[in-house]
Amino acid sequence: MLKTIVKKELLENIFSYRFPLFALLCVVLIPLSMFVNNAQYTKHLRDYSEQVRLSEVGAAGLTMQDVMAGRVAIKGFRRPALLSIFDQGFENAMPRYYQFTQDGFSQGESASGDESLLSTQGKFDFVFLVQMVISLIGLLFASDVISGEKESGTLRAMLSNRLPRDALLIGKIGGGFGSLLAPFLVAFVLGVALLVPSAFPLFAGDIPARLAILALASSVFILIYYVIGTMISASSAKARTSLVAILLIWSGFQLVIPKLSDMLAALISPVRTETQVSLEKSLVNNTIETETAKELGRQYDLIFGSAKPGAADDTKSPERKKWDPLRDDIQMRARENKAQQIAAIEETYAQQKRRQQNLAVNLSLISPSAAFGRLVADICETGDLARTKYLEAVRSHQKALDNALFGKVKRTLMMHKNGGMSLSFQAEPVDPKNLPKFTVAPASLPDTFKENWRSLLALAFWLIAPFVVAYTRFRNYDVR
């Protein structure tokens, strides 16, 4: 009996005017979005390769004089995410590169500089189509699945034959969802197949698994919205009422809650701006350098004030043997103090950001769309997890460069009692070819699921809860 109901619902949808329009929309827009974003990815990949090449050429000609003069800024470029073809996420918002100097790292330009205002308000990609277009169509397909049948009198006729209501409800959901899923999966497979001639590495690494998970998550997301639509239809006496309720709920889930969650999180748990944090670190850096320069100048004057001329340049003089270890000790303690204070500032800022982000995530998960968006962005390596991995790689590379390059150069700035200043340099030889390479470790799929456990729970809730409500409402539904 259930099979008959599913088949009936499926055929009714297929032979309705809505199905060919939906199928055409999927077959045209989904492959088109992949084609457009693949062209953009190819362009970004070419730019990335050229920038890396130019950076390596510049590093090959690196001299210690450049480092000593502070003219060197080594760049670390992030390779564009392959699966940004399906979900742009933060791809264009993240910096294309970070630059590293003796004073720390700073971010470079982002890829969004050449975009129009309208393009930044919603990327035309696969996930955007699923979230904004197909979800609405799924709700509209389900808007009259119960209330429409009641108005036409067919629901009463079916139930008069002692047809179990649970079987009827499950059959309608299965048939309706099947009519949405078939053209969607066909369009998805067609779009991926069209990428293969452009050298898309379909079978490389974990790409097949990520694409399969993306298709599965999208299918579950469509099912969630179809079940929500069925719940609304089973709670309404008229299809027109269902339609109005569906549009209001869709607007809340898609447009209001995801944006409102970030605003509320910023109000409840405010965080200092990056500019304020940068200024605070600069203040610490300048203060410690000034204090260190004064202390070095004072000690230098005490040691060499009454020494014979040329004692400061004679490495074997008693004054020089006393000065060198004292200078190194003062500079080492200054570096440790500066590192501790800056690390404390960064850790406080990171804690504030994590607190605000966790609050925003928890608030946004009221919407199944937000849960889906966060999950698939991390699957496509363009979400919060990719941004975190990028910043971790930047911090790690700065430490590696400090040990391999910047730490080999010692600048000694001294402020003397008479108001004068002196600056000296010491540098150890460094082979530019042996400098560490900048790399970003990608997040594995287990890491992705571990990071998105809340999104997975939210999607499970939105799959189960609307069905339970729809089942409860339909059991007591007045078919007269």
Helix (H) or strand (E) holding 106: strand 104-107
| Mean per-residue pLDDT, 277-286 | 88
Choose among 445, 429, 470, 425: nearest CA to 378.
Answer: 445
Q: What is the dihedral of CA 131, 132, 134, 137, to 10 degrees?
A: 140
The amino acid occupying position 157 is A
Both tokens of 40, joined, read 């953009």
C-alpha pair distances (Å), 31 with each of 35, 85, 118, 125, 373: 6, 11, 21, 10, 20
| Mean per-residue pLDDT, 249-272 | 89
In sequence order, what DSSP letters do the residues of 170-216 get, joined into one string? HHHHHHHHHHHHHHHHHHHHHHHHHHGGGT--TTSTTHHHHHHHHHH
Distance of CA 148 to the CA centre of its chain: 42
List the Cα angle 147/258/228 in 5-degree steps. 20
CA distance linking residue 48 with residue 56, whole number of Å = 12
Does residue 478 sit in helix, strand or coil?
coil
Which stretch of 109-113, 289-293, 298-302 has the lowest confidence by average pLDDT? Answer: 109-113
CB hemisphere CA count around 384 (13 angstroms): 17
Over the stretch 425-473, which tens digit does the pLDDT of each residue have? Answer: 777 777 777 888 899 988 999 999 999 999 999 999 999 999 999 888 8
CA distance linking residue 346 with residue 272, whole number of Å = 11
pTM greater than 0.75 (yes/no): yes
CA distance linking residue 20 with residue 23, whole number of Å = 5
CB atoms within 10 A of CB 215: 17
pLDDT > 60? residue 245: yes
Both tokens of 357, joined, read 């982000």
Over the stretch 66-83, which tens digit does the pLDDT of each residue have? Answer: 666 666 678 889 999 999
The amino acid occupying position 288 is I
In sequence order, what DSSP letters do the residues of 359-402 get, joined into one string? HHHHHHTTSHHHHHHHHHHHHTT-SHHHHHHHHHHHHHHHHHHH
The strand pairing partners of 415, in sequence order, are: 421
Domain positions in the chain: 1-288+340-395+445-480
Sorted by sequence, the CB contacts under 8 Å of residue 224 that are 6+ apart come out as 368, 459, 462, 463, 466
Distance of CA 327 to the CA centre of its chain: 45
Both tokens of 427, joined, read 């540098």
| Mean per-residue pLDDT, 282-295 | 90
pLDDT > 60? residue 61: yes
pLDDT of residue 35: 92
Which residue spans within 34-86 are E strands per DSSP?
74-77
CA distance linking residue 395 with residue 480, whole number of Å = 68
CA distance linking residue 380 with residue 32, whole number of Å = 18
pLDDT of residue 33: 93
List the Cα angle 136/140/145 in 5-degree steps. 145
Between 450 and 2, name the one with better pLDDT.
450
Between 127 and 236, name the one with better pLDDT.
127
| Mean per-residue pLDDT, 174-182 | 92
Both tokens of 276, joined, read 């304020």
Q: What is the mean pLDDT of the chain?
A: 86
For β-strands 409-415 and 104-107, DSSP reports them as: unpaired
CB atoms within 10 A of CB 255: 13
pLDDT > 60? residue 114: no
Q: In what order do the strands lie in the sheet with 74-77?
A: 74-77, 97-101, 104-107
Which stretch of 84-98, 153-167, 395-409 has the lowest confidence by average pLDDT? Answer: 153-167
CA distance linking residue 353 with residue 106, whole number of Å = 18
Q: In this structure, are residues 221 and 459 in contact, taking their beta carbons and an 8 Å threshold?
A: yes
pLDDT > 60? residue 204: yes
The amino acid occupying position 103 is D
The amino acid occupying position 412 is T
Q: What are phi and psi for residue 107, nearest 5 degrees?
A: -85, 150
